[in-house]
Amino acid sequence: MGMVVQKYGGTSVGSLEKIAAVAGKVAKRYREGNSVVVVVSAMSGETDRLIGLARRLSPKPDVREMDVLVSTGEQVTISLLAMSLKDLGVPARSLLAHQINIVTDNAYTKARIVHVELEMIRKVLDSGEVAVVAGFQGVTEGRDVTTLGRGGSDTSAVAMAAVLNADVCEIYTDVDGVYTCDPNICEKARRLDKISYDEMLEMASLGAKVLQTRSVEFAKKYNVPILVKSAFSDEGGTLTTTEDKDMEKEVVSGVTYDRNEARITLLGLQDRPGIAASVFTALAEENINVDMIIQNSSADGKFADLSFTVTKTDYDKALEMVRKMLPDLGARDVVGDTSVAKISIVGVGMRSHAGVASRMFEALSGVGINIIMISTSEIKVSCVIDEKFMELGVRVLHEAFELEKEKQ
Amino acid sequence: MGMVVQKYGGTSVGSLEKIAAVAGKVAKRYREGNSVVVVVSAMSGETDRLIGLARRLSPKPDVREMDVLVSTGEQVTISLLAMSLKDLGVPARSLLAHQINIVTDNAYTKARIVHVELEMIRKVLDSGEVAVVAGFQGVTEGRDVTTLGRGGSDTSAVAMAAVLNADVCEIYTDVDGVYTCDPNICEKARRLDKISYDEMLEMASLGAKVLQTRSVEFAKKYNVPILVKSAFSDEGGTLTTTEDKDMEKEVVSGVTYDRNEARITLLGLQDRPGIAASVFTALAEENINVDMIIQNSSADGKFADLSFTVTKTDYDKALEMVRKMLPDLGARDVVGDTSVAKISIVGVGMRSHAGVASRMFEALSGVGINIIMISTSEIKVSCVIDEKFMELGVRVLHEAFELEKEKQ
């Protein structure tokens, strides 16, 4: 008799047959005596189809309306899944964000959940029904529809699990867990049974597309165990949970990459306090996330070069913004490069093991890969390199840290 | 400086190009200085596509979930139209039923509007924005999504016009007005410039598919003038409004037909008070609308035959229900017939002209058409006949009442 939140992604509900199969899986958990909340994404391809409609109609679709549009994808799935559950004799009820008050801020297309009302969802579960919740969507205080950005259904699921204090949040997807590396790039990749929130957070933010970053932040904050599993198999699975001793045995848990990086460099910037801040404030106001930042001062300390990375999607906009700011910044020029990629190693073991970064740099230089930018945190080291060496770099690092072997 | 409600049906917003064209028409009215509310349907084919999904998934899709599903069609259209308006520089805002509180009862798939909140829509219009409202949908007191049945967007539009006390409710569709008869059947059909609510009501309920019946009831109750026009031409149009002297000059304004009728006959029913009522109460509880009812007593007054018509869609269900009730009703048997159709003549002039019905019966018998059932009201006469004579009957009546000629 537990409280279970399950989330099924787009490929898991990609056809009517698959929706019926998901209904079967949900029914099983329900009949075991659990209270079940199911969070679903749009059928695979549907969100892109809707975005395509908007793009063909409008050169720059209004973001408020974009959210009204794309949120229909999840609405279709919840209704179909609820129908299918009822056909199996399982009482079920589809719920839109505004019906259970998944309240977000006003940042259309990438809104953040501010609050989830417990009362509404409780009432549904207490009546013995399976709650079939539309992922990806929220509602503002002013009752506008919002969406949570790509992968937002993960966050919807974790938010439901958090507010309900669920025993587990099961994320069903098209992979059977989190790997030491993308198996498409590195055939020796190994599935991890367990991973800490912090590692998962780094891996998600570094480009491993298993979970939306924000969902892991949420899970960590509210201590929600996330089990990532395949929707099509009962085997495998990776549990993301609080750090334990086992995890520290591994110096590095995984290697990740991100192709969606672009570099922008401001040349000959006047090295005055507040100059860099003004750039990043302006970008933040336009909701452009900056990832890595590096500044080099000239020998005389008067001028500096400032490099930072943004997603390739935001690149054009960011470059244009910075170019307009050039006079105010007193910078000489701005240049950009989209043919870069980021590769990273992640592991809580780094905290207690020295020399991890240098081992990484050596491994890369050993095969002639030049490192353009470096950024480190307590549990990860990232390098920006030439995009064409990305796959090679990933495989080299996987081997250097012996990730194919399970540590005992 | 007026208050205009416009409604565009599915074919008028059937493609991105058509949505852009509608935006142009709306922008024009807005720039003339009007407050504009636009109500839109789903893109043509979309509602059927969604219903198809449900039917392929579920043998008998749950009606609550059906409404969650099909209401996405309008949601897509309002977002696209609002985007398109903004691209034209017109401030616009898409609005779902729950955002402006179009409150309905709980009769999923054929809900009735109970109340429309004025405050919410007023606020949008007062801010100078065009309100782009999702037609066809409502929300229950419990915040569930409902839909208003086929053609429900007409009712949404009239309800908005009523609550806002609009100058006119313009219904844009794929025909350029209301005709004396379906031009596909009768080539001499003539477009009417003006028609009374009561006539329109009869024509709508009798099967002329221009407007949803409920929308006309609403318009009559709140005295909303409805202008039916083609979305693709500036010519033509029929105004539905309060009765005036001109209208009475025409004995008959139009001939309508309805193929979607089926007849059920209870044989040898015990002629006890309350027996007929029990049948129709049971059918009403299942939301089955009964149209015509005829009862013939036997010579000794002990037994009666009771005939009534339902839509062909409800026929199987109704027949099964009545069959189960046979023992309680003390009836001998029940028989049914789906190969019937209804043809009707409508006109407020009937009130002041005698002999209209007999002229109808003579015209039909003149070409050998047998009348199976008759039903009359103050301004219409309907006959159920063999379906295969339907087109012939319609043409004969159009000629008998000289509807091709405009009365002076």
Check residue A355 and give its pLDDT.
85
How far apart are the CA of B320 and the nearest CA of chain A, in angstroms?
22
Q: What is the pLDDT of residues A259-302, one digit of tens each?
A: 999 999 999 888 777 887 889 999 999 989 898 888 877 777 77
Distance from CA of A87 to the nearest CA of B (A): 7
Task: List the structure tokens of A288.
Answer: 């452009």
In degrees, rounded to 5, the angle at the alpha carbon of residue A236 between the alpha carbons of residues A232 and A241 is: 115
Q: Does B305 or B68 have the greater pLDDT score?
A: B68
| Position with higher pLDDT, B246 vs B408 | B246
What is the domain partition of chain B in residue ranges? 3-174, 255-400
Helices B275-285, B312-329: crossing angle, 10 deg rounding: 140
B53 touches chain A (CB under 8 A): yes
B376 interfacial to chain A (CB closer than 8 Å):
no
**Interface membership of B130 toward A (CB under 8 Å):** no
Count how many pairs of residues, chain A against chain B, have C-beta atoms within 8 Å. 105
Q: Does A19 touch chain B (CB under 8 A)?
A: yes
State chain B's mean pLDDT as an integer: 92
Which among B20, B57, B62 has CB closest to A57? B20
List strand residue ranges (DSSP E) for B231-379, in order. Answer: 238-241, 254-270, 293-297, 303-311, 333-346, 371-377
Q: Which residues of B touch A93 (CB under 8 A)?
A: 64
Q: pLDDT tens across B23-55, in order?
A: 999 999 999 999 999 999 999 999 999 999 999
What is the separation of C-alpha A402 from the centre of its chain, rounded to a whole number of angstroms? 26
Query: Looking at A189-198, A239-248, B124-133, B304-313, which range is the least confident one?
Result: A239-248
**DSSP structure class, residue B10:** G
Contact at 8 Å (CB) between A341 and A371? no
Please check the confidence at residue A408 and state whether its pLDDT lies above 70: no
Which of B68, B70, B100, B137 is most worth mutating to test chain A (most A CB atoms within 10 A of its CB)? B68
Choice between A104 and A234, residue whose per-residue pLDDT is larger: A104
Tell me which fold the domain B3-174 belongs to: Carbamate kinase (3.40.1160)
Consecutive H or E run containing B199: helix B197-205
Least confident piece of the model among A327-331, B94-98, B185-189: A327-331
Interface test with B, best of A69, A74, A81, A129 (most B CBs within 10 A): A69
Q: Do the Cβ atoms of A212 and A169 come closer than 8 Å?
A: no
CB contact under 8 A, A56 and B82: no
A79 touches chain B (CB under 8 A): yes
Residue A370 confidence (pLDDT) above 70: yes
Residue-level pLDDT at A341 = 95
Strands (E), A215-302: 226-230, 238-241, 254-270, 293-297
Longest Cα separation, chain B: 77
Residue B202's pLDDT is: 87
* B61 touching A (Cβ < 8 Å): yes
Is the Cβ–Cβ distance between B137 and B173 less than 8 Å?
Answer: no
Helix axes A16-31, A72-87, angle to 10 degrees: 60
Identify the pLDDT of residue A349: 84
CA distance B241 to B239: 6
Cβ of A143 and B87 within 8 Å?
A: no
How many Å lie between the alpha carbon of A54 and the closest alpha carbon of chain B? 6
Measure A21 CA to nearest chain B CA, in Å: 11
Cross-chain CB nearest to A83 (options B62, B78, B86): B62
Q: Which of B49, B56, B83, B95 to mutate to test the interface with A (most CBs of A within 10 A)?
A: B83
Q: What is the mean pLDDT of chain A?
A: 92
Kindly state whether A88 is in contact with chain B, defined as any CB-CB distance less than 8 angstroms.
Answer: no
CB-CB under 8 Å, B61 with A82: no
To the nearest whole angstrom, how far is the Cα of B34 from the nearest Cα of chain A?
Answer: 23
Mutation to test the A interface, candidates B19, B69, B108, B124, most A Cβ within 10 Å = B69
Radius of gyration, alpha carbons of chain A: 23
CATH of domain A255-400: 3.30.2130.10
ipTM for the assembly: 0.82
- How far, in Å, CA of A276 to CA of B365, rounded? 92
**Res. A222: pLDDT tops 90:** yes
**Which chain A residues are Cβ-neighbours of B19 within 8 angstroms?**
57
The confidence score (pLDDT) of residue A294 equals 85
What's the pLDDT tens digit per position in B342-391? 999 999 888 888 789 999 999 999 999 999 999 888 899 999 999 999 99
Confidence at A395, pLDDT banded by 50, 70, 90: very high
pTM (predicted TM-score):
0.83
B94 to chain A: which residues are within 8 Å by CB?
A: 64-65, 68
Give B388-401 as a DSSP string. Answer: GGHHHHHHHHHHHT
Percentage with pLDDT > 70 across chain A = 98
Name the residue of chain B whose CA is nearest to A50's CA: B76
Question: String of b and e for B281-319 (b: at least 16 CB within 10 Å)?
Answer: ebbeeeebebbbebeeeeeeeebbbbbbbbbbebbeebb
Strands A293-297 and A303-311: antiparallel
Instruction: Decide if B57 and A99 are in contact by the 8 Å CB cutoff.
Output: no
Interchain contact B75–A (C-beta under 8 A):
yes
Chain A contact probe: residue of B62, B78, B106 with most A CBs at under 10 A: B62
Distance, in Å, from the CA atom of A42 to the CA atom of A134, rounded to the nearest integer, reads: 9
Partner residue facing B65 (CB), from A56, A83, A144: A83
